[in-house]
DNA sequence: ACCTGAACACCGTTCAAGT
DNA sequence: ACCTGAACACCGTTCAAGT
């Protein structure tokens, strides 16, 4: 008797939200939550129940792309040496960042709003403030303030990178003191608009720094 | 008869705004304009006349630090080879980014809001939308869409970097195909909170990529 | 079980009116 | 000449009330 079927309208709402969001992102890269709700023809509450954070929504929007990207890493490793595979994979990421204008940008931490208090006397103040769902690509759990031990769960993208790095380490062609977190930090430049024409070139520099001398 | 003295209250307002902003930035890294005006005890209009954009305000807040940073480049070059000088200079930048939490972050493009229209029937709609003053550090004039020719006026920081790069090029120790824009893009990682413990290490990787093999 | 939309607490920015 | 602050057009997020 468990596993009750979700209502049909609920399902269609969810997919419509994602579709609309994807479409809006081709134009705006900003993605105002209110705008998504309006464009999808649902109340804000519906939007928020389905996607408690903007990250959650973006994760869903780009899920297929991220999976493709992740899946390509072992495929490239099967046919090329690690350095070449890494290079090709990074080019894929760059292309992806190019096309999906603002994906990486949209997934950025969203800054402030975590000061807990605001000291507001009037109003609601009930649930937890928000709480960062896992981002689809790059930069997981900042754990603000203290450097977290166990360092790095960086999500599926991070695992793909680690696979490429490990292969290079085994070959002796990539530095052993580099992990996915380092690479993700370096890749952050792709989210900047100034990276437009230079992505390839900067990737050259990065890759050069990752190789053993 | 030109050069009329500015009113005393105007002057004190301006310096108070900057002081207050600097202080707020030690706590928040967010810097809401309204909050600055309130804390400084001035109307929003006064704030905006003095600093038409958030960048303009931040530039003023960090002017002294930026100048120090820029001035240190030739000093380092006088006493060390180019690679060492660059390395030390980058360490300085990292320290700076560490202490002034959110400087680089605060100076980021601020994303969207440039779609000109919004198609709003009611309301004002008068002056130009905004217009990006020059940032104090990193990433000048995106010129969204087209890769601008003449590539790179990257401000004083960019010039300091170019000086360091040129020295290395002359020595034959730094790659000739790298410019300040590349380095600024790579340095962007410093603005991410995840860079906290790893800044030095990632700088190692970057520097390695900049050296001739 | 799911939905809507008013309501709250914020933003940035402008501009009429004051001194 | 400079200032204030109300006002406008947005945000994100929550929650009472509906179906």
Of the partner residues A181, A196, A198, the one whose CB lies closest to the CB of residue B194: A181
For residues A86 and A210, the answer to whether their CB atoms sit within 8 Å is yes
CA distance A50 to chain B (A): 25
For residues B207 and A184, the answer to whether their CB atoms sit within 8 Å is no
H or E element at residue A45: helix A44-50
Closest by CA to B186, choosing from A164, A15, A122, A186, is A186
Q: Give pLDDT tens digits for B38-52.
A: 999 999 999 999 999
Residues with CB under 7 A from strand D: A 31-35, 37, 43-45, 48, 52-54, 124, 126-127, 129-130; B 4, 6-7, 9-10, 13, 41-46, 49-50, 118, 120, 122-124
CA of A133 to C1' of D15 (A): 22
Bridge partners of A211? Answer: A174
Residue in chain B nearest A149 by alpha carbon: B197
CA of B45 to C1' of C17 (A): 13
pLDDT in tens, chain A (213 residues): 455 677 888 889 999 999 999 999 988 878 999 999 999 999 999 999 999 999 899 989 988 888 999 999 999 999 999 999 999 999 999 998 887 765 665 554 333 233 232 333 333 333 333 333 333 343 333 333 333 333 456 788 899 999 999 999 999 999 999 999 999 999 999 988 888 899 999 999 999 999 998
Question: Is 80 exceeded by the pLDDT of residue B136?
Answer: no
Q: Which domains, ranges and CATH numbers included, belong to chain B? A: 1-108+154-210 (1.10.357.10)
Residue in chain B nearest A111 by alpha carbon: B30
Q: Give pLDDT tens digits for B100-135.
A: 765 665 554 333 233 232 233 333 333 333 333 333
Strand C proximal residues, A:115-134, Cβ < 7 Å: 118, 120, 122-124
CA distance B1 to chain A (A): 45
Buried b (16+ CB within 10 A) or exposed e, B2-12: eeeeeeeeeee
Q: Give pLDDT tens digits for B83-103.
A: 999 999 999 999 988 877 656
């Amino acid at each position: 008797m468990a596993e009750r079927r979700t209502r049909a309208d609920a399902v269609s709402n969810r997919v419509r939200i994602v579709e609309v969001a994807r479409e809006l992102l081709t134009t705006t890269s900003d993605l105002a939550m209110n705008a998504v709700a309006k464009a999808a023809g649902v109340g804000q509450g519906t939007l928020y129940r389905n996607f408690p954070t903007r990250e959650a929504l973006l994760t869903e929007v780009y899920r297929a792309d991220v999976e493709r990207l992740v899946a390509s890493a072992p495929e490239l490793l099967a046919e090329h040496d690690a350095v070449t595979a890494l290079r090709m994979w990074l080019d894929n990421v760059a292309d992806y960042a190019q096309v999906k204008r603002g994906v990486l940008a949209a997934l950025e931490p969203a800054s402030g709003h975590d000061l807990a208090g605001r000291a507001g006397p009037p109003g609601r103040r009930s649930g937890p403030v928000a709480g960062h769902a896992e981002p689809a690509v790059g930069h997981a759990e900042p754990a603000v303030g203290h450097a977290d031990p166990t360092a790095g769960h960086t999500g599926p993208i991070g695992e793909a990178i680690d696979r490429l790095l490990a292969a290079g380490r085994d070959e002796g062609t990539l530095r052993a003191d580099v992990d996915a977190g380092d690479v993700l930090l370096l890749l952050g430049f792709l989210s900047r608009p100034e990276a437009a024409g230079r992505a390839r070139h900067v990737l050259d520099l990065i890759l050069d720094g990752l190789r053993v001398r």
